[in-house]
Amino acid sequence: MSGSTDVFEIMSTTRSMRRLKPDPVPDELIRKILEAGVSAANGGNNQRWRFLVVKDKAIKKAVQVWYKKAFDEVVGPRYAASAPPPGVTADRYQRQHGAVEYLTEHFHEAPVWIVACIEDKAPPNRSSGASIYPAVQNMLLAIRALGLGSTLTTRHLLYEKEAEAALGLPEGVHSYAILPIGYPMGKFGPVGRGTLADIVYQDKWGQTYPGL
Ligand SMILES: Cc1cc2nc3c(=O)[nH]c(=O)nc-3n(C[C@H](O)[C@H](O)[C@H](O)COP(=O)(O)O)c2cc1C
């Protein structure tokens, strides 16, 4: 499975692809991804989203330093102490750890990043996030449909000020996600999630939804 146009197949195989080849991604494909992004819903259709395409190696490296620091200090220890989530075997979770560590070391080597931002004087909050993450998910689906790989990353926000300074974001612009994009080294496969019966209720919290 690489490129696909079946939306259900795409959704169920849009896994985090953390091992990426350094081969360049044509601008024509980046444009398609961005077009998919701005097809998303956004509050009031205000379209305060802004997208920074980063190819400059020095900029990516300057951000990776903070991304790695956040791993070393927070994310790595947290991963080491946590159990596999629903629908994920211990073995698969272990492989995910390895991939997370790999991306941490090689974040800046992805040939292109799309940094999803919002230009707004108000500080980031749940509403502003709701107006950018639909675009981010559209882009992830488009990336997958084109046979490219990526991962939704937000870890740089643990060092938000430093990372946004490294990205050169002006005042009033905040980043919400960095998508490192490239051709994947591995193969696409199904995502690992728990069962709907454990998380869907009808009418009353905790009451079984018999429609499953
Ligand atoms: C809000 C959010 C933030 C995330 N941040 C990171 C990140 O900084 N680094 C990373 O490697 N993965 C990140 N991920 C990816 C998740 O770890 C991943 O989606 C999850 O483990 C499920 O794996 P899958 O996408 O392969 O199905 C993030 C995902 C979300 C939704």
Task: Please give the structure tokens belonging to residue 121.
Answer: 């004087």
3-state secondary structure (DSSP) of residue 156: helix
Answer whether 51's CB lies under 8 Å from 117's CB.
yes
Q: Tell me, what's the pLDDT at 12?
A: 96
Please choose from 16, 100, 141 the residue to mutate so as to test ligand 1's pocket, defined by most ligand atoms within 8 A of CB.
16
Ligand 1 lined by 137 (C-beta under 6 Å): no
Q: How far is the CA of 202 from the centre of ligand 1 (A)?
A: 29
Q: How far apart are CA 164 and CA 177, in angstroms?
A: 11
Answer whether 37's CB lies under 8 Å from 135's CB.
yes
Q: How far apart are CA 50 and CA 20, in angstroms?
A: 25
pLDDT single digits (tens) 37-87: 999 999 999 999 999 999 999 999 999 999 999 999 999 999 888 999 898
Ligand 1 lined by 154 (C-beta under 6 Å): yes
Protein residue closest via CA to atom 4 of ligand 1 = 153
Provide the 8-state DSSP code for 153. Answer: B
Residue 89: C-alpha distances to residues 85, 86, 93, 190 (Å): 8, 8, 6, 13
For the residues 179-192, what does the mean pLDDT come to? 96
Q: Of the ranges 18-32, 86-100, 164-178, which one carries the lowest mean pLDDT score?
A: 86-100
Higher model confidence: residue 31 or residue 92? 31
Protein residue closest via CA to atom 30 of ligand 1 = 152
Q: Which residue in the block uniquely carries the two structure tokens 């994947």? A: 184
pLDDT surpassing 90 at residue 32: yes
Ligand 1 lined by 152 (C-beta under 6 Å): yes
pLDDT classification of 1: cutoffs 50, 70, 90: very low
Radius of gyration of the chain (CA): 18
Q: How far is the CA of 136 from the centre of ligand 1 (A)?
A: 12
Q: Tell me, what's the pLDDT at 119?
A: 96
Ligand 1 lined by 16 (C-beta under 6 Å): yes
Ligand 1 lined by 191 (C-beta under 6 Å): yes
pLDDT single digits (tens) 105-141: 999 999 999 999 999 988 899 999 999 999 999 999 9
Count other Cβ atoms within 10 Å, centred on residue 147: 14
Amino acid at the residue 60? K
Q: How far apart are CA 66 and CA 146, in angstroms?
A: 30
Q: Of the ranges 13-17, 60-64, 123-127, 174-178, which one carries the lowest mean pLDDT score?
A: 123-127
Protein residue closest via CA to atom 19 of ligand 1 = 16
Q: State the pairing for strand pair 173-181/112-119.
A: antiparallel
Q: Tell me, what's the pLDDT at 69?
A: 98
pLDDT surpassing 80 at residue 3: no
pLDDT single digits (tens) 135-171: 999 999 999 999 999 999 999 999 999 999 999 999 9
Q: Is 160 left (phi over 0), alpha (psi -120 to 50) or beta?
A: alpha
For the residues 9-38, what does the mean pLDDT come to? 97
Q: How far is the CA of 206 from the centre of ligand 1 (A)?
A: 27
Task: Please give the structure tokens belonging to residue 79.
Answer: 């991963």
Q: Tell me, what's the pLDDT at 2?
A: 63
